[in-house]
Amino acid sequence: MKIVDAKVIVCSPGRNFVTLKLTTEDGIHGLGDATLNGRELAVVAYLEEHVIPMLIGRDARRIEDTWQLLYKGAYWRRGPVTMTAVSAVDCALWDIQGKALGVPVYQLLGGRSRDDVMVYGHANGADIDDAVRAAQHYVSLGYKAVRVQSGVPGLKGVYGVGRGTMSYEPAERGKAPELEWSSERYLAFVPELFARVRRELGPDVHLLHDVHHRLTPIEAARLGKELEPHHLFWMEDPTPAELQDGFRLIREHTTTPIAVGEVFNSIHDCEALLRGQLIDYIRTSVVHAGGLSHLRKIAHVAELYHVKTGAHGATDMSPVCLAASLHFDLAIHNFGIQEYMRHSDDTDRVFPHAYSFNAGALYPGDKPGLGVDIDETLAAHHPYERAYLPVARKLDGTVHSW
Ligand code: GCO
Ligand code: MG
């Protein structure tokens, strides 16, 4: 089953997406998401200039061998651009394999371990009242888990504050927006936010919060400790994870569960976190951490240390990535939760898909392969537009993590 065609499709139905489409000699095609938010075209060039020429003529059934060839064969290992490209190829090959055998990908991954995939939605408010209302809205839609973010008094715009709709989209066309940051103001505010949200939503709803890499380990330890009475499902990205050892400090001070990993590219980024039992949820994604083949390895290592998965699922993961995540989530034993930020209607039209939402959970559908396609004619109506994620500055002007 030789690969005879490979192309990269770049489109922007509301936001930018990069998609790899591989076609075999039997006419089967497979898709892989290759979107790296704000740095999209670097992956396009990597695929077109360096990867695609190696794929033509290869046997599409040799998924692991192709992964190793692209990873070890490049000599220059890891990194977001390389790993996003490898992920796209890997994902497309699993899609092809499923279609060739006439089964949904979750069957190839070991079959269903559960009935469906619990997801969390994003409640974003300008202030506490707004955030509470947004969270209540998600609960009324059947969500069992809600991530809550709010504007912080005294700061002009912070990460996670929506723009009045259910689909929150931080990347901006043209120029990177600048936001303000103060750890002092944030730390003084968030415990109050969750005291209110827990009181209004009751004990059963899972509550999540994303710190978005903005605190030092000891600041995050203080936050985790102060949030303990409100029983969070997780506190995400409490501190930048380049320093894996920093998580030990957080762990020593709080029992609030910790999630991390959306910017990780391989098992080497989380190996010490897993082995040291410093985290509770690993958030690596299909698109940025080496595809289904590598994500499986991360999940299996995590399982040894009682760490569950909580895959990244923001809108910059395309429906192709979301579909792949759902097959993975349904199959692996140590699934925790799946992030779900609904895509815009334009995006859903460009990527028709078999997954569906019901009662706080998603189901990938039973179509052969991943169950997602791309309408190339429609995609061509939404050309790429350069866009940047925001940057944050402290009140004295110093650049800070957004
Ligand atoms: C999350 C995230 C994202 C990221 C985004 C960057 O959903 O948990 O932190 O919203 O900010 O994916 O491209
Ligand atoms: Mg996050």
- Three-state DSSP string of the chain: CEEEEEEEEEECCCCCEEEEEEEECCCCEEEEECCCCCCHHHHHHHHHHHHHHHHCCCECCCHHHHHHHHHHHCCCCCCHHHHHHHHHHHHHHHHHHHHHHCCEHHHHCCCCCCCCEEEEEEEEECCHHHHHHHHHHHHHCCCCEEEEEECCCCCCCCCCCCCCCCCCCCCEECCCCEEEECHHHHHHHHHHHHHHHHHHHCCCCEEEEECCCCCCHHHHHHHHHHHHHHCCCEEECCCCCCCCCHHHHHHHHCCCCEEECCCCCCHHHCHHHHHCCCCCEECCCCCCCCHHHHHHHHHHHHHHCCCEECCCCCCCCCHHHHHHHHHHHHHCCCECCEECCCCCHHHHHHCCECCEEECCEEECCCCCECCECCCHHHHHCCCCCCEECCEEEECCCCEECC
Q: Closest Cα to atom 12, ligand 1: which residue?
A: 314
Triad 363, 339, 225: Cα angle to 5°: 140
Atom of ligand 1 nearest to the CA of 159: 11
37 lines ligand 1 (CB under 6 A): yes
What domains can be seen in the chain, in order of their start residue?
3-104 (3.30.390.10), 108-369 (3.20.20.120)
For residue 167, what pLDDT is reported? 61
For residue 165, what pLDDT is reported? 57
Confidence (pTM): 0.97
Q: Distance (Å, rounded) from C-alpha 299 to C-alpha 294?
A: 9
Q: Distance (Å, rounded) from C-alpha 67 to C-alpha 62?
A: 9
Distance from the CA of 224 to the center of ligand 2, in angstroms? 16
Q: How far is CA 72 from the centre of its chain?
A: 25
329 lines ligand 1 (CB under 6 A): no
* CA 328 vs CA 292, 298, 303, 399: distances in Å: 7, 12, 14, 37
- The answer for residues whose C-beta is within 8 angstroms of residue 176's C-beta and 6 or more apart is 388, 389, 390, 391
Among 2, 26, 25, 21, which residue's Cα sits nearest to residue 95?
21
pLDDT tens for the chain, 402 residues: list them: 999 999 999 999 999 999 999 999 999 999 999 999 999 999 999 999 999 999 999 999 999 999 999 999 999 999 999 999 999 999 999 999 999 999 999 999 999 999 999 999 999 999 999 999 999 999 999 999 999 999 999 998 889 887 655 567 788 888 888 999 999 999 999 999 999 999 999 999 999 999 999 999 999 999 999 999 999 999 999 999 999 999 999 999 999 999 999 999 999 999 999 999 999 999 999 999 999 999 999 999 999 999 999 999 999 999 999 999 999 999 999 999 999 999 999 999 999 999 999 999 999 999 999 999 999 999 999 999 999 999 999 999 999 999
Catalytic residue among 159, 168, 186, 363: 159
For residue 164, what pLDDT is reported? 57
For residue 160, what pLDDT is reported? 84
Distance from the CA of 366 to the center of ligand 2, in angstroms? 29
Q: Distance (Å, rounded) from C-alpha 69 to C-alpha 54?
A: 9
For residue 249, what pLDDT is reported? 98
Catalytic residue among 209, 212, 288, 294: 212
Q: Distance (Å, rounded) from C-alpha 365 to C-alpha 374?
A: 17
